[in-house]
Amino acid sequence: MARITPCYREAVMCRTGRTGMMVVMPLTRSEATARAAIVDVHSYEVHLDVTAAEETFGARTVVRFGARPGASTFLEFEPVRIQSMTLNGARVPAEAATGGRLELTGLAEENELVVAATMRYSNDGEGLHRYTDPADGNVYLYQHLFINNGGRVLPCFDQPDMKASFQVAVTAPADWKVAANGELISAADGVWRFAPTKPISTYLASLFAGPLHVVTDEHDGIPLALYVRAALAADLDRDAEELFTITKQCLDRYHEMFDIRYPFGHYQQAFAPEFNFGAMEYPGLVVFRDEMIYRSAVTESQRESRANVIAHEMAHMWFGDLVTMAWWDDLWLNESFAEYLGTRVAAEATRFTGAWTTFAMQRKAWGLRADQHPSTHPVAPIEVADTDQALLNFDGISYAKGAATLKQLVAFVGDEAFLAGLNDHFAAHAYGNATLADLLAALTKSSGRDLAGWSDVWLRRAQVNTLRMSLSPAAVEQTAPEGYPTLRPHKIGIGLFDRAPDGSVNRRTTVLAEVDAEPRTLIPAVDGEPAADLVLLNDGDLTYAKIRLDDASTAAVSTVLPLLSDSLARAVLWAATLDAVVDGERPVAELVTLVLTALPVESEVVIVEDVLRATRSLVDRYSTRETRPAALELVAQAADRLLAVSEPGGSRQLAAARGLIGATAQTGRLRGWLAGEGVPEGLAIDDDLRWLILYRLVVLGAADLDGIDAEYARDRSATGAQWAARCRAAVPSAEAKAAAWQSIVADTTLSNRLVEMTASGFWHSEQLDLVAPYVSRYFAEMPAMMRVRSGMSAEKTAKYAYPELSVDPETRRYAAELLAREDLDPILRRVVQDSDDDMRRALQARF
């Protein structure tokens, strides 16, 4: 119940997930277009006071903007209390702020809005997130205004095409440091003042604050900094040289590619707790999940992934920050380009030269799965109706499919023309906004090629084609799924591989071919070659498509794959094999056999990790209860064989150990490792590996709550807290499952990451009888969960909590009943639609 103050009401106008909430409506595209036609925002001056209370903070904001005289407009704004509010010196009544919006009337040609308000901290990773570190009790804050959360910190015009300069000041405790987009002007008497930024969109304004540990450097005239919470100081110091080296290498490569140098002054990178994304491209202050500061041993593929994220976020400084999409239908102008350029620059500029192998194995598989779900959409959809729909498009299509499409575009127009077009695009729209049409115009000019047809089939139409190789005569056959009949032109490589007398397998040649947008394209150059032991379609991974080999090559995979020296070729083969199993074209038992024979000799760590992860998932969902134990034992044997031949202390050994831990049922061996007995030479049973072992023991009923509590007492850290939550959810008892379920669906005191970890630990194939009652409860109770959580955290929680291991027609019936509801939250609808489609495939594969 709101409490009325003498002049202003106490309006608990918070989003879903908070006491006394008022639902905040999404911003529609039509509203955004109309507002942009009326208002020209110039600047925001924001002074936050984060010293007053644990649940709220003070915010004084001055917004300066031009407008059509006499017009009306609104700003996004979600205060707890308003102390004062004036427009051009005249008081604005409290009633103007309602439902997450501040309505203004009688605008002048130039306007100044001044608001002093009390705002609420969040625990869901949105707005101004407040976190208490269990390691030392220190408090940290980070600001994440992504898509439509600006009003949770300040009154603002929260849409990407209304850019403005931000000038920020923060009153903070005496022992804190504060970092922001702008460069620091002064830090005296507990007030941190920052210079005005270049024009940026509201969702790009951020800060990071607390008793931070900082490491600084400089490169090519650009000040560099790394920030982390105090508990990770030693870990950051250990990683700082690598992080700075990658940052400098990427900056140099982007400066080689782009005419406009890095445009935002200093380049700071902060590692924040409980961050919803892997990272976010705030100009001048890129923020990452702080799990990327490693406290335990990691594989080289994890370090490569971190380097790729650094390169990805740096690409956003041009694609997204310098030139920003006008509306969320052009999200691909941000994410597809950052995904493509991040992978490319990581491969070209850092030691991680195999980044395209990782893309083929891992990222593209993400895109292919998303593109085949019921929620599929074009890379560049014609219409994104509102900000809720925009959130749903942050998926494998906007990232990985878009990047693969760009790789195909580069093959189509040539790299020189591609980069020339990008530079023309930046020059024309620097510090402004742009659309698909703007970019295509620049690329058309630079390449001299009409890209209208290309963009129509690759960017405007959803779903994926399947390419099959046939021989005698050699041809590529192209099909499209029912309901999405588009065939596309492809530029691909066709590799011919032969067994050599010494037992190796060599690539004889790669035929580059233009595949027409037709059902069948003859490839005479392949017919002109002698028969090969294996013909690999899409050698080099140039195009985006599902790949199927000819019959003879398919039969040869098990003997050829272990002997291939090219890691990218192996990745393409593994990815095609896994995809065929997902589609039910090959049995999961055949995959397990291939894993047992081929994986122990695999040298590329990312292939090891992804094959083990994907195979374990397919065994859990595609095997029956009767066949699953034997299949899982074979996966464990494959990991054990790899472990036995791996170099002590190396990445492959660690990847093999993790795979073995996740698949084995040998509880005695796992207990021994925890006790330091029988541990392979070179394998460190450090904090994270101890938790992984304990988690598996808990699932198997070989460890209990006392064991979890003891481990958390030993490792009272942020990571330890998350692992403990996951382990408690995995305890195979009715009481533990009931407590975990309550946390998932109703406990708003838990932060985003703890809820997500609880949900991720709930379902296990070994416990299906125990958790059977929660199958129907998911569909009955998850809509209520969506009313107490919001945004990306709600989506992750709904996905992790889905009963995907209950592969049964009854589960699909519950899903159909829920999807029939007209009032279903759009995020939950998408999660259920796509998860149900995955279950459809699993049922078909089983029966």
Q: Is 670 helix (H, G, I), strand (E, B) or coil?
A: helix
Tokens of 758: 């609880």
Q: Is 523 helix (H, G, I), strand (E, B) or coil?
A: coil
Question: Quick one: three-class SS letters along 45-102?
Answer: EEEEECCCCCCEEEEEEEEEEEECCCCCEEEECCCCEEEEEEECCEECCHHHEECCEE
Residue type, 395: D
Give dist(CA 535, CA 34) in Å, integer: 56
| CA distance to 563, 698, 723, per residue, from 656 (Å) | 19, 20, 21
User: Catalytic amino acids?
Assistant: 313
**How far from each other are the two terminal CA atoms of the chain, in whole angstroms?**
55
CB atoms within 10 A of CB 601: 12
Residue type, 550: D
User: Which DSSP letter does residue 400 get?
Assistant: I
Give dist(CA 846, CA 623) in Å, integer: 7
The string over 76-105, giving b where at least 16 C-beta atoms fall within 10 Å of a residue's C-beta and e elsewhere, is: bbbbbbbeebebeeeebebebbeebbbbbe
Give dist(CA 225, CA 183) in Å, integer: 12
Q: Which residues contact 491 (CB under 8 A, 6 or more apart)?
A: 408, 411, 412, 512, 513, 514, 515, 542, 543
Q: Is 596 helix (H, G, I), strand (E, B) or coil?
A: helix
Q: Of 451, 429, 449, 450, which is closest to residue 438 (Cα–Cα)?
A: 429
The string over 462-478, giving b where at least 16 C-beta atoms fall within 10 Å of a residue's C-beta and e elsewhere, is: bbbbebbbbbeebbbeb
Q: Is 229 helix (H, G, I), strand (E, B) or coil?
A: strand
Query: Order of strands, edge to edge, in the sheet holding 73-76?
Result: 73-76, 101-104, 97-98
* Chain centre to alpha carbon of residue 191: 34
* Plot region of 41 (φ>0 → left; ψ -120 to 50 → alpha; else → beta): beta
